[in-house]
Amino acid sequence: MFISNPRSLGGKRIFKTRAPKHASGTRAPPPPFRTRPCCRGLPGGRDRPEAKPHPGESGRAEPHRAGPSRAGPHRAGLSRAEPGRGGAGMGRGAAAAPPRAAGSTARGPSSSSSSSRGGGGGSAMQQHFSLADCEVVGFDLDHTLCRYHLPQSERLIYDSFAQYLVTEKGYDKGLLTLTPESLDFCCKGLVLDLEDGNFLKLAEDGTVLRASHGTRSMTSEEILEIYGRREWKHFSAVSGMLSRSGKYYLYDNYFDLPGALLCARVVDSLDQHDGQKKYDFWKDMVAAIQHNYKITAFKEECGMYFPEVKNHPDKYLQRCPESVKKWLKQLKSAGKILLLITSSHSDYCRLLCEYIIGNDFEEYFDIVITNALKPGFFSHTPNQRPFRTLENDEEQEALLSLDKPGWYSQGNAIHLYELLKKMTGKLDPKVVYFGDSMHSDIFPAHHYSNWETVFILEELLGDKVMVPAETESEPLEKKGKYEGRQPKAPYPISKQWGSFFMDRLPGLENAEETLVRTWSCKCISTYSTIAIPSLESIADLPLDYRFTRFSSNSSGTAGYYPSPPRALLTSEESVTMK
């Protein structure tokens, strides 16, 4: 999907694509992400930045039961920071894709569009996706299978970091005071420039759409003076997710966002008391993450986060809807192999799953993988990231191969796929993976493993989803529960940052022809098969429901279900008004 640069001509709105070109004159493909290395530890299991200095179907293998006991697998340090993927920087718009992990199969990364991915005879012109065509269905845990009460969980994460900064690092006690209105600052897709203390919202081409210094919004004049209308200086690195950068941090998921607010308030505090121009607080933020989410934190009840969630799970966790549990059983009954792949460690994973699904949650899945350390799970070789068994939540010896289904820790997608071949009896089983993080779930599963990907995007609710009657391609009896009605948003769109999907160019806010798509929005159609607001939104659909997928030869809004957000519908409709 190309970001549009609207121009006015004869009273009609014409959108001109802003995608850069190769020297040959052809459009350059969007630059791929690269993995960030990180300190282990954040709830939900994404990897986090370093301080740098910066069942039972016949013919399947028997389950492996030498793993964790019912006492539970070990969440040895939650991680939301992404383990390193390495890779060189990229030029504007056209970058070499990260190399395929050694030993990866023919289903490894492909330079083709999502419409040609996967087994089952898919063609480059394929426009639809169906779960019925997949032999394997995989899920992330946090914010995918496990939904959180966002205001409460965000406040808890904020407090756990702020308490450490104040008590252990001597930061201003004012950081401990937080009003509910302050959470309006939290918006996915922001980039923090660690040197300048500025938060940026980027367009698809890397130009700055909105910015703040600390929590203070910058004016259009300030943005144009500092950044102009050119690509931001670190955009090629950010869009490629270069490892070990101490110059920026990209906020990608709900576990990240409270940290963004805290960092912004730290900048405010340092400006007020010290008048700083350059900032060196990031190492203290990393220390706060490590303190709260280190390997032993759950067992030792270290920090604030784990003790609070363990004592009051109802305050922070949403139970899995009965429709979703029924849907999971339906998938198993249809012969699908179900995977749970989470970077959360086993003890926290068990806490979450027992609360949201029930004590029998293991019966829903053929394979459970904890401490997966995504995205490295997809990009690393078996030698770099072997599977390990678990005993009483402790990781045991490394495995030379993965021979049976069961519960494992760490691991890699290459050995997993070899097991899936054995379990399905197919040379090229088709896998679909559901996740909420573009950087840890969607991109690496798409790029390294060539899996179908379903992006869980709650922002589809906040952006007032609309269902145009003319786009209906399925009979009414196959409609999902969210089609034709307006689901309630988890909370409103950020007033400070605006839509996750679209925005106007700074300095031209009053000209309606200046709408452009955000970089985050472009990534969705580039790396996702489809995007949905929640599992519940598709749980009532038949397994053979045909979703219209994102693809290079269709509208950039086609893959959103139940329909595109209003901001994108407005722009797509405008394209046709030529």
142 flagged as catalytic = yes
Tokens of 258: 């409270």
What is d(CA 140, CA 138) in angstroms, rounded to the nearest whole number?
A: 7
Tell me the β-bridge partners of 318: 147
Whole-number Cα distances in Å, 481 to 298, 442, 476, 537? 37, 25, 11, 6
143: left (phi over 0), alpha (psi -120 to 50) or beta: left
Of 47, 133, 142, 503, the catalytic one is 142
Of 140, 159, 256, 441, the catalytic one is 140
Q: Using CA of residue 325, residue 327, residue 332, residue 336, what is the dihedral sign?
A: negative
Residue 392 one-letter amino acid: N
Q: Read out DSSP for 415-453?
A: HHHHHHHHHHT-SS--EEEEES-IIIIIHHHHHTT--EE
Three-class secondary structure of residue 535 per DSSP: helix
Q: Which residues of 276-305 are buried (b: 16+ CB within 10 A; e: fewer)?
A: eeebebbebbbbbbbbbbbbebbeeebbbb
Determine which helix (DSSP H) or strand (DSSP E) holds 390, and give its type and residue range: strand 387-391
> Environment class of residue 490 by beta-carbon count within 10 Å: exposed (0-12), middle (13-18) or buried (19+)?
middle
557: left (phi over 0), alpha (psi -120 to 50) or beta: alpha
Task: Indicate the angle between helix axes 150-169 and 257-274, nearest 10 degrees.
Answer: 40
Residue 61 one-letter amino acid: A
What is d(CA 121, CA 466) in angstroms, rounded to the nearest whole number?
A: 33
Report the half-sphere exposure of 164 (CA within 13 A, side-chain side): 23
Please give the backbone phi and psi of residue 432, each rounded to the nearest 5 degrees, phi first: -120, 140
Please give the backbone phi and psi of residue 371, each rounded to the nearest 5 degrees, phi first: 50, 40
Whole-number Cα distances in Å, 516 to 19, 179, 231? 12, 32, 14
User: What angle is formed at CA 87 by the lines to CA 124 and CA 105, rounded to 5 degrees?
Assistant: 45
Contacts of 209 (CB under 8 A, 6+ apart): 201, 202, 203, 503, 504, 505, 506, 516, 518
What is d(CA 502, CA 60) in angstroms, rounded to the nearest whole number?
A: 47
159 flagged as catalytic = no
Active site residues: 140, 142
